Structure 1
């Protein structure tokens, strides 16, 4: 219950400021996905890191929980039906989960930028999924 309340508070903060920061100073965006089962829009505040070619990189850390966050399953089910609100702009995006060497390289960059994210990986047995969001053109 507290997590939902905090998520709502963070979404308002990110949307109101047009580009916001999460607690701890990390860049934040609002991710809008379609529910994997319901097909209804779902919004989640998410920390993001700059990716190559102007993309946004997010990690399904769930603060190091044993399970992936719901938004991860929504993106997996509907990778072309997502959008982000960042810097006051809503951008339609395509989600691509990274694997292998590319995932490891990008994850190292995330862990170097945020000790907190490095700790999330240490708290769980699962490999934290790393997802690249790129602007959808069609």
Structure 2
């Protein structure tokens, strides 16, 4: 593993990062994504990322959220609702629970997807792969009592 990657993993596991990142990273991602017409996602320099467009659980209005993801083949993605190790599930997870049909912007293409919450053995296997992919998720889980939600997105 490259020293730069280890440094990024170490920094992303800190409480300071968890406090600042949820506000700063999505705003930067949305701005860069908009400026580059969907071709660049700034946080994808650390991890692969998508821009999720889902209907709000309460309002039904479209919500646009930049998210790190773990690609699964050509037509699927795993989304980890870590919330940077903060209490409470991120709101995008409630949106997907209520409205599983959504879309993602992936490498400049808009792709319709269906989200499914993973549970049981399927979740355990996906969680193990997620920890191998990005070890700081273990730190995030250790900070909260809730079980971090995992969603599998598949092309519709």
In the superposition, the TM-score normalised over structure 2's length comes to 0.78
Report the CA distance between 1:6 and its aligned residue: 3.4
Question: Residue 103 of structure 2: SS of its match in structure 1?
Answer: strand
Count of residue pairs the alignment pairs up: 134
Long gaps (5+) in structure 1: none
User: In structure 1, how many angstroms separate the alpha carbons of the residues matched to 2:78 and 2:84?
Assistant: 16
User: In structure 1, how many angstroms separate the alpha carbons of the residues matched to 2:145 and 2:53?
Assistant: 27
1:26 to 38, 47, 51: 47
State the Cα RMSD in Å: 1.9
User: In structure 2, how many angstroms separate the alpha carbons of the residues matched to 1:8 and 1:119?
Assistant: 24
User: In structure 1, how many angstroms separate the alpha carbons of the residues matched to 2:105 and 2:25?
Assistant: 18
Long gaps (5+) in structure 2: 1-19
Q: Which residue of 1 aligns with 2:137?
A: 117
Q: Which residue of 2 aligns with 1:13?
A: 32
Question: Residue 43 of structure 2: SS of its match in structure 1?
Answer: coil
- Structure with greater helix share of residues: 2
Question: Residue 10 of structure 1: SS of its match in structure 2?
Answer: helix
In the superposition, the TM-score normalised over structure 1's length comes to 0.87
Q: 1:2-61 CA deviation, whole Å, 9 max, x = no partner?
A: 644531211233452625352761111101110111111101110000225631000111
1:24 to 1:122, Cα distance in 2 relative to 1, 3 A: farther
1:24 to 1:125, Cα distance in 2 relative to 1, 3 A: farther
Q: 1:35-90 CA deviation, whole Å, 9 max, x = no partner?
A: 1111111011100002256310001110111100010001111012x110010000
User: In structure 2, how many angstroms separate the alpha carbons of the residues matched to 1:130 and 1:62?
Assistant: 12
Correspondence list, 1:1-138, <5 A = 3-14=22-33, 16=36, 18-22=39-43, 25-51=46-72, 54-80=75-101, 82-136=102-156
